[in-house]
Structure 1
Amino acid sequence: MARANRRLTRASRYGKYAGGPDPLAPPVDVKQALDAIGQDVMAGYSPEASLREFLRRGTDDRPGLDDLARRVAEKRRELAAKHNLDGTLQEVKRLLDKAVLEERKQLARDVDMDDDARALAEMQLGALPPSAAAAVKELNDYAWRSTEARQDFERIKDLLGREMLDQRFAGMKQALENADDEDRAAIAAMLADLTALLDRHARGEADQQQFDDFMRAHGDFFPENPRTIDELIDTLAERAAAAARMRNSMSQEQRDELDALASQAFGSPELMSSLATLDEQLQSLRPGADWRGSESMSGSESLGLGDGTGVFQDIAELDALTEQLAQGYGGSRLDDLDLDALARQLGDEASVDARTLKQLENALRDSGTMKRASDGTLRMTPKAMRLLGKSLLRDVATRLSGRQGERDVRQAGAAGELSGATREWAFGDTEPWDVTRTITNAISRTAGGGGALGQGVRIEIGDVEVQETEARTQACVALLVDTSFSMAMDGRWVPMKRTALALHTLVTSRFRGDDLQLIAFGRQAEVMEIEQLTGLEAEYEKGTNLHHALLLANRHFRKHPNAQPVLLIVTDGEPTSHLESSGEVFFDYPPHPLTVAYAVRELENSMRLGASTTFFRLGEDPGLARFIDSMAKRVGGHVVSPELDDLGAAVVDSYLGSRRPDSSFGW
C-alpha cells in the first residue's frame, strides 16, 4: 500500500501566495470605473445596471466578465468536441486482442501439445463473441499457455478495477497500477469504513471525532484533505455525480458492455457492490447535485472512465462559472465567483483579472460612491457625483487650455477677495494659507495620535488649508437644457448631462457665491437637482417648452436682485409648446406663432433683468439656426454651435466670460 500512498500524496515546499490580495498588485482605478459607470447612468441606465455593465466590459487593461464568460464557454465547447467516452472499452479490446494473439502464437509454437487440445483451444479462441464483455467472461476459465497472454488478460481486470475506483476517487488509476492483494484489501477496508461513516452521518450519529478517526486510517486516499465530513461528502458527491452524467452520456451499447465488464473488476464482484452502495448514499445525501444530466461527446480523443469523470467535473465547474459570471441572480456579487475554479479552468491570469474586477466592485461599494437605498436599489452617492463632476471638469479644463491657452486655474474670484471659507490645499493652489486652521488640524492630528507634549507641532500636507476667494460680483446662473426626445435620439443626451454636471461642479466647488439653477425643458419645464438630471431617462414625448423654462429662469433671477444674471440655453429644436395661463401645456408643430411669441416675450424679460444670454445650438437644422440667431440678436446675446464633445467646454467658457471679463478658471 505504501507504493500507492506515494502516488496519492505529494509534498511541496512552495505554493501560491494565499494571504489575501496580491500585495504587489497595482491599486484598482476607482476613478476610471466611476467615469464609465457615470457615463451609463447619464445615458439613462440605473446605477445597478451601469455597475453590472462596467464589470461585464472590464477596464482598459483588464478584460471584463463577458470576456471571461466567453473563454469559459469556449473551453466547455472544446472539451465536448474533443473527446469521446469509449476509452476504457477500447483499452479492454486492445488488451483482449493482444492476449488472444499471443495465445495463438504460443499454440503454434508448442510442438509438444496434443493436436486435439490445440484444435480445441484454437476453436475456443476463434469462437469468441464480438462483445468484449462476453469474451472476457468466457475466457475467465480458459487455461492460458502463454504467460504474456495471461498477464494481458489479468491487466483487463486490473484496468477495470482501477477505472471504477478512479471514477469515485480521483487519482486511483495511477496510484493503484500494479496493485497487489494488500492494496486491494486496504481499498475494501476503506470502502467499508466509508459507507459505515456515511450511514451514521445520515442518521445524525456521526461526529467530528469519528471523521477524524476515519481520516487517520484512510486519509491517504483523499489528497483533497477534507476537514469535515460535509467537505468529504461534497468532494465525493461531486465526482460521483460527474460519473453518473458520464454514464448517461454513453450509448446503451456502451453502458451494457461496461455493466457486464464491471463484475470482472479486480476479479471481485464485491467491489461493484460496494461502489453501488456508496453511490446510493451520496445521491441521498446530496440530492441537489446533477445526477441525471448528459453531454454529447463525439470527438476523436478517447477517455477512460476516470479521466472522463474528471472531464465531466470540469464541465460542471465551467457551467457553475458561467452562472457566476453572468451575475443574473438577485443580490449577485463578484464575491460569489470561485476564483480557484477560474484559475483551474482558465489559468492564473484569468483569476487575477477576475480578482481585479472583484476589488473594483468592492472599492466602489465601500468607498462611499455607491450605496444601497432603503428600497434595495443601488444609487450613486453625492460623493460619487462630486468625483464624477471633477473628472468632467478636468476634461473641460483640458479642452479650454488647448483651445485658448493655459489659464490660471486656482483663483476663484476676480479680485481675489476672501470669502471667509477655507478648503484643503491641493497641488497647484496659490491662495494664502489659513494659518489658524492649518495649525489646528496639525494639533488635532497629533493629539489624536498620542504625540508627546512639548515636542512642537509637525505640519503635514493633509493639515494645510487655504483661504478661498470670491468675486466682487456674485452671479445668478440658469442653465436651461433641452430634454426633448430628439436630444436622446440624436446622441445629445449624455453630452447635455455631462455639461450640466461639469458646470454644477465648477459652481459648487470654485464659485460658491454664485447660485446655479438647472432647468430641464421638454413638453414642459422643471427645476432639477443635479442627481435628478443626471439620472433622467429619455421619454418619447413631443414638445420643446422654452417659454416655461424661461419663466422659471426669470423667477430665479428675481430672487437674486443683487447678482449678475447669466442665462445659458442648450437646445436642438425650435419651441413647439408653451404654458398657458390655465397651467395647461399647448403643443403644435410646426411652431405656432403664439408659442414663439411667448418665448420671445420671456426672453426679453430676461434681458430687462440684465441677463447675459448665450444659446448653444445643437444640430444643423436651418430653421433652428434662423430662429436662434434672431432671438440672440433681439436680446444682444451670443450663439455658439459647438461639437458635442466640446459642449461642456463651450458652456463653462461662456459662463466664465459672462460672469466677468477677467474671470480665471481653475481646478
Structure 2
Amino acid sequence: MADPRRRRRRYAYGPYAGGPDPLAPPFDIRSAMDQIGRDVMDGSSPRQALQELLRRGLEGRRGLDELSRQVWQRRRDLQRDNRLDGTLQQVRELLERAMNAERDALANEHSDDARFREMQLDALPNDTGGAVRELSEYDWRSSDAREAYEEIRDLLGREMLDQRFQGMKEAMQNATPQDVEAIREMLDDLNSLLQNHAAGQDTTQQFSEFMAEHGEFFPENPQNTDELADLLAARAAAAQRMMNSMSAEQRAELMELSQQAFGDPRLAQALSQLDANLQGLRPGEDWQGSGRFRGDNPMGMGEATRALEELGQLDALAEQLAQSYPGARLEDIDLDAVADLLGDEARVDARALADLERELARQGLFERAPDGSLLLSPKALRRLGESALRDVVDKMGSRRGERETRRSGAAGEATGATRPWAFGDTEAWSVPRTLLNAQLRRAGGDTRTLDVSDVEIVETEQRTRAAVALLVDTSWSMVAEGRWVPMKRTALALHQLISTRFRGDDLALITFGRHARTVELGELVGLDGVYAQGTNLHHAMLLAGQHLRRHPDAMPVVLVVTDGEPTAHLEPDGEAYFDYPPSPHTLRATVAELDRLTALNAAFTFFVLGDDPRLAAFMDDVARRCGGRVVAPSLDGLGAEVVSDYLRTRRR
C-alpha cells in the first residue's frame, strides 16, 4: 500500500485577498512628487497639482480624465444607439398580426355576424392603447389572432415586472393564471410591508415572513426592509425616468396598455401603489430626470429601465471621478461600479490612483495650513530639492565642485567630538561610537546587527562658512518668458545643497518685483506669478545686506538672478518708485546699495537671463564696479551655473 504521505498534493488557486497585491509594482513616489513640484512651481496650488497628477495618471495607468472620458463615451453610446419604444413597437406588430388574422378568418365567413365583427374592428380607436383596451372583451374567431392578442398581454405584464424585479421577464415566460396571482399577492404583501415601515412600525418580523414566502423574487437577498426599499426604489426611479424620457403620446399609450398586463388591471394598480410607497420612502432618488435616446435599436420597458438605471450609475461615477465636491477623495470612487461599467482594467487603474493618493498622505508629503488649504510638507520640499539638485549635478557633468568636498580633510581637522549621522554628511564614521551604539541597542532586545541610527560621525572644524543671499527676479517678465520654473528649481537645488552638504552656511531667499521680501523655501516654490511691473533690485540688496550683517563671521555671497534692468527702488517712506526706462534715481539708489555690500567684501555673481543688450551693459558695469562676475546661462543650465558658482566662490 502506498504511503499516504507520498500522495501528490492538490493546490487550488484563486484571487489574492490578503491586502495589497504583493506583485503590484511599487509606487514611484519620487516621480509623482517631481510632477507635483513642477505644477506647484508653475503656479498651481499643492491641491491643484495633486489633482492634476491624478487626472493625468502615471506609470502607464490611466488617470481620472481618461476614465471620465470613457464614462461619457459609454453614456453617449447608450443614448445614441438605442430608443425606448421597443415594447410599443412589439405591441403594434402583435396587434397588426392579430387584426390581419382575424380579418382573414372573417372574410371566409358569409354571415351577418362576420360583417358585424368587421364593423367592430373598423371602429377601433386609432391609438394602440385604446385598440388593445377595446379588444379585451372581443370574442376572437381566429385562434392565431387570439394567441397574438394574449401575447400582447403577457408581453406587457412581463415587461412591467422586468422594470422592477431582476429576472422576472424570463421567469414569467408562459405564465399561468396561478403565477400571475402569486405575483399579485407578493405585491400586496410588499406594499403592506412598505406602508407599515413608512408609518414607523417595527417591520422586522413582517420582513422575515415576507422573505420566507416571497424570497425567490429577490435574488439580491436584502437583509432588512431598508435594504429592500433601497433596491426597489433605485429601479422604480429608473422606470419613472424612462417614462419621463418618452414623448407625451408614448407615455399615454403605455399607461393605457399597462391596464392590460396579464389581462388583470389589478397588477398595474399594485405596481402604481408600489411606486408611490417607494417615492415616499426614498424621495432622494432621481424621480424627475430623463434621457434623450435617438438610436435605431428598440428597447423593451425592462431593458430601457435598466438603460436609465445605468445612465444614473454613470452620472454618479462621473461625479466621483470629477472629485469636484468638498472633501472629495479617490477612496470615494465605487470600484465595483467602475468594473461593472468600464471593465476590470479600469478598476485596476482607479484603485492604483487611490493607492497613490493614500501613499502620498501616509508618507507625510502634504500638510494642512491653518486655513485648511493643502501645503507641501518640509519632507516634500526636501524630495523636490533632491530632484532639482540631482538634475543640476547631471548637467554639471564632469565639472569639479560638489564632489571635491568628499576629499579627506575638506571639512577641516577633527575636533574629537562625534554626532549622529544625518543625510548628506560626508565625514568619516566614528567606528567605536557606532559599534557601541549598536551593542547598546541589541542589549535592549533589538536583533539587528547594525542600523543607520547607530552611526556617528567625527565632527571637524568648520574652516569656512558662508552667508548666502540668493536674489531672484519675480517680475512679470519672468513668468511671461518661461523663466519662472527654472528660477524656482534653481532655488530648490541651492537650498538642498546648502542644507545637506554645507549646514554651516546660511541661505536667504529674496524675491524682488515691485517690492522685495525674504521668503521661506515653501513660499517661493508655491509663489504665484502675478502681473506686477517693477524690478526692485535696490530693495532686494537692502534685504541681502541685513542678512549678511547678521553673520559677520561668514563669507558674504550674493547671487542675483534677473532678466531686466532695475526699474524700481525703495523710497525712505517705504513706498516703491517705478519708472521705465529706468530712472536715474533708481540707478543711483541701486548702485549705492551695491557699494555698501561691496564694502562688506561680498562676492557677487549676476545671472542674466535673456538677450536684452541694455541689461547686459548695465550688469557688466556693476560687475566691474563690485568685482563680481556676470553669467549668461541658458534656462536649462541656470541651476548648474548657480550651484557651480556657489561652490567656486566657497572654495575660493
TM-score normalized with structure 1 length: 0.88
Instruction: Provide the rounded CA distance (Å) in 2 between the counterparts of 1:95 and 1:467.
Output: 96
The residue number in structure 2 matching 1:573 is: 564
Equivalent residues in 2 for 1:101-500, closer than 5 Å: 101-105=100-104, 115-125=111-121, 127-401=123-397, 404=399, 408=403, 411=406, 415-417=410-412, 420-423=418-421, 432-435=428-431, 438-439=434-435, 442=438, 446=442, 451=447, 458-460=449-451, 464=455, 472-500=463-491
Q: Distance in 2 between matches of 1:45 and 1:157?
A: 63
Does residue 48 of structure 1 match 2:43?
no
CA distance in 1, matches of 2:359, 2:353: 10
Q: Are 2:129 and 2:256, in contact at CA under 8 Å, matched by a contact in 1? A: yes
Q: Equivalents in 2 of 1:152, 1:73: separation in Å? A: 41
Alpha-carbon contact 1:414-1:471 (below 8 Å) kept: no
State the secondary structure of the residue aligned to 1:264: helix
- Partner Cα separation in structure 2 for residue 470 and residue 84 of structure 1: 84
Where do residues 31-110 of structure 1 align in structure 2 (5 Å cutoff)?
31-105=30-104
C-alpha displacement at 1:643, in angstroms?
1.7
CA deviation map 1:30-86 (0-9, x unaligned): 222222222222223322222223222322522322222222222222222222111
Q: Distance in 1 between matches of 2:366 and 2:553?
A: 39
Partners of 1:544 and 1:577 within 8 A in 2: yes
Question: 1:72·1:322 contact (CA, 8 Å) conserved in 2?
Answer: yes
Compute the displacement of 1:198 (Å). 0.9
2:420·2:453 contact (CA, 8 Å) conserved in 1? no
SS at match of 1:162: helix
Counterpart in the other structure of 1:9? none
The answer as to whether partners of 2:56 and 2:62 remain within 8 angstroms in 1 is: yes
The 3 A distance-change label for structure 1 pair 324 and 605 is same
Instruction: Specify which of 613, 624, 639 is matched with residue 622 of structure 1.
Output: 613
Task: Specify the alignment match of 2:499 in structure 1.
Answer: 508
Q: Is the 8 A contact 1:321 1:342 kept in 2?
A: yes
Which amino acid in the other structure matches residue 512 of structure 1?
R
Q: Secondary structure at 1:574's aligned position in 2?
A: coil
SS at match of 2:173: coil
User: Which AA in structure 2 matches 1:553?
Assistant: A
Alignment deviations for residues 284-336 of structure 1 (CA, whole Å, 9 cap, x no partner): 11112111122222221111111111111111111212222222222222222
Separation (CA, whole Å) in 2 of partners of 1:465 and 1:219: 72
Which stretch has the larger CA shift, 570-579 or 329-338? 329-338
- Structure 1 residues 187 and 15, CA, compared in 2 at 3 Å: closer, same or farther? farther
Aligned 8 A contact 2:513 2:535 in 1: yes
Q: TM-score normalised to the size of structure 2? A: 0.90
Inter-CA distance 467–129: structure 2 relative to 1 (3 Å threshold): farther
Deviation at 1:570? 0.3
Q: Deviations over 1:93-137 (max 9, x none)?
A: 1222223334455556x7xx6644544455544554432222222
Does the aligned pair in 1 maintain the 2:317–2:334 contact within 8 Å?
A: yes
The size of the alignment, in residue pairs, is 638
Q: Give the letter for the 1:637 counterpart.
A: G
Assess, with a 3 A threshold, how the Cα gap between structure 1 residues 600 and 294 changes in structure 2: closer, same or farther. Answer: same
For 2:79 and 2:644, locate their aligned partners in 1 and report how far apart those are by CA, in whole Å.
61
Q: Alignment identity in percent?
A: 55
- Give the 3-state SS of the residue equivalent to 1:263 in structure 2: helix
Assess if the C-alpha contact under 8 Å between 2:420 and 2:455 holds in 1.
no
Q: Does the residue aligned with 1:645 lie in a helix, a strand or coil?
A: coil
**Displacement after TM superposition at 1:257 (Å):** 1.1
Partner Cα distance (2:432, 2:215) in 1: 70
* Aligned partner of residue 291 in structure 1, secondary structure: coil
Provide the secondary structure at the position in 1 that maps to 2:379: helix
Cα distance in 2, alignment partners of residues 606 and 180 from structure 1 = 102
SS of residue paired to 2:577 = strand
How far apart, CA to CA, are the structure 2 residues paired with 1:321 and 1:620? 52
Q: Cα–Cα, structure 1 residues 31 and 634, in superposed 2: closer, same or farther, change >3 Å?
A: same
Give distance in 2, aligned partners of 1:198 and 1:449: 63
Could you say which residue in structure 1 is the equivalent of 2:583?
592
**Letter in structure 2 aligned against 1:172:** M
Does the 8 Å contact 1:422/1:468 carry over to 2?
no
Moved more, 38-47 or 612-621: 38-47
> What amino acid does structure 1 have at the position aligned with 2:354?
K
496, 520, 523: which one pairs with 2:511? 520
Amino acid at match of 1:623: R
Q: Return the offset for 1:581.
A: 4.1
Aligned to 1:541: 532
- More divergent stretch after superposition (197-206 vs 265-274): 197-206
State the AA in 1 paired with 2:151.
R
1:658 paired with 2:649, answer: yes
Quick one: distance in 1 between partners of 2:432 and 2:104?
106
Which runs of 5 or more residues in structure 1 are unaligned?
A: 1-12, 452-456, 662-667
Give the 3-state SS of the residue equivalent to 1:295 in structure 2: coil
Judged with a 3 Å threshold, the aligned counterparts in structure 2 of structure 1 residues 226 and 147 are, in CA distance, closer, same or farther, namely same
Contact kept, 8 Å, 1:83 with 1:303, in 2: the verdict is: yes
Change (3 A) 1:425 1:607: closer
Structure 1: how far apart are the matches of 2:294 and 2:583? 71
1:339 alignment partner AA: L
Alpha-carbon distance change, 19 to 214 in structure 1, aligned in 2, over 3 angstroms:
farther
Offset at residue 572 of structure 1 (A):
0.7
Further displaced range: 572-581 or 86-95:
572-581
Q: Is the CA contact (8 Å cut-off) linking 2:56 and 2:63 kept in structure 1?
A: yes
Q: Residues 235 and 447 (structure 1 numbering): CA distance in 2 closer, same or farther, change over 3 Å?
A: farther
- Please state how far the C-alpha of 1:230 moved relative to its aligned partner: 1.9
Query: CA–CA distance in 2 between the matches of 1:430 and 1:320?
Result: 55
Verify the 8 A CA contact 2:430 2:458 in the aligned structure 1: yes
The answer as to whether partners of 2:401 and 2:647 remain within 8 angstroms in 1 is: no
Structure 1 residues 68 and 293, CA gap change in structure 2 (3 angstroms) = same
Taking the aligned partners of 2:274 and 2:547, their CA distance within structure 1 comes to 80
Partner of 1:179, secondary structure, is coil
Q: Quote the offset at 1:156 in angstroms.
A: 1.1
Which residue identity lines up with residue 186 of structure 2 in the other structure? M
Q: Return closer, same or farther for 1:81/1:468 CA change in 2, 3 Å cut-off.
A: farther
| Mapped contact 1:545–1:578 kept (Cα < 8 A) | yes
Distance 1:19 1:312 in 2: 37
> Structure 2, unaligned stretches of length 5 or more?
1-11
Deviations 1:459-488, CA, capped at 9 Å, x for gaps: 256755655768622222111111222212
Q: Partner letter of residue 648 of structure 1?
A: G
Check conservation: 2:402, 2:647, Cα contact below 8 A.
Answer: no
CA contact (8 A) 1:413 1:471 kept: no
Whether the 8 Å CA contact 1:415–1:471 is kept in 2: the answer is no
